Amino acid sequence: MIAVLRWGHRIPRDSRITTHVALTARAFGADAVYVDTEDKELEETVNSVVRRFGGPFEIKTGVNWREIIRGWKGTKIHLTMYGEHIDDAIQRIPQGDILIIVGAEKVPKEFYDLADFNIAIGNQPHSEVAALAVFLDRYTHRKGLRKEFSGGEIRIIPNPRGKTVVEEHVSRRE
């Protein structure tokens, strides 16, 4: 299980970036995203991508982030530009259940202590979306992007020169 916890989500300011965090998590091999602030519109946007392009992928908003972190049985990774460079730490991060924490605004000091690893995707400021994508790509040994999705309404067929999209015939129980 790979889950992402997005902390500090502010509506409407972070709506677009948090959507990108969730879609990047899904596309790069994570199973779920948890967002601290309740945001039904964000849930609907992500769920509509899952309906159209497939899952499984879960989004939950309005979560108690402390409970999620404290109750997490696997490894907790906090992505921060102040952490250990990913190249120096990736070998020590065990494979298994992981919770990846990304902030929206400046995160409380508590996160640095609650996490098992504070990991920098380079020690320069950039974006939580970029940080998450690079981390997942490295952590999954490039396999995250090959994740198979199922149950979607449509599927993209890779095409070097144009768009090919096929409709899936999925029987759904109402």
Q: Which residues bind ligand SAM (CB under 6 A)?
A: 79-81, 102-103, 106-107, 120-122, 124-128, 131
Q: Copy the structure tokens of residue 117.
A: 């690893």
CA 85 to centroid of chain Cα atoms: 20
CB of 127 to ligand SAM, least distance (A): 6
Q: Which is nearer to ligand SAM, 53 or 135 (CB)?
A: 135
Residue 81, judged by CB atoms within 10 A of its CB (0-12, 13-18, 19+), counts as middle
Rounded CA separation 153/146 (Å): 19
Separation of alpha carbons 54 and 151, rounded Å: 5
Residue nearer to ligand SAM on the CB measure, 84 or 97: 84
Q: Which is nearer to ligand SAM, 57 or 135 (CB)?
A: 135
Q: Let me know the angle formed at the C-alpha of 151 by 150 and 152, rounded to the nearest 5 degrees.
A: 95
Nearer to ligand SAM, 49 or 132 (CB): 132
User: Closest residue (Cβ) to ligand SAM?
Assistant: 103
Residues in the chain: 174
**Given the complex with ligand SAM, which of 35 and 120 has the nearer CB atom?**
120
> Cα separation of 70 and 63, whole Å?
13
Question: Residue 32's CB: how many other CB atoms inside 10 A?
Answer: 18
Least separation in angstroms between CB 106 and ligand SAM: 4
Distance separating alpha carbons of residues 114 and 105, to the nearest angstrom: 18
Q: How far is the CB of 59 from ligand SAM (least distance, A)?
A: 18
Minimum distance of ligand SAM from residue 74's CB (angstroms): 19
In angstroms, what is the minimal distance from the CB of 162 to ligand SAM?
35
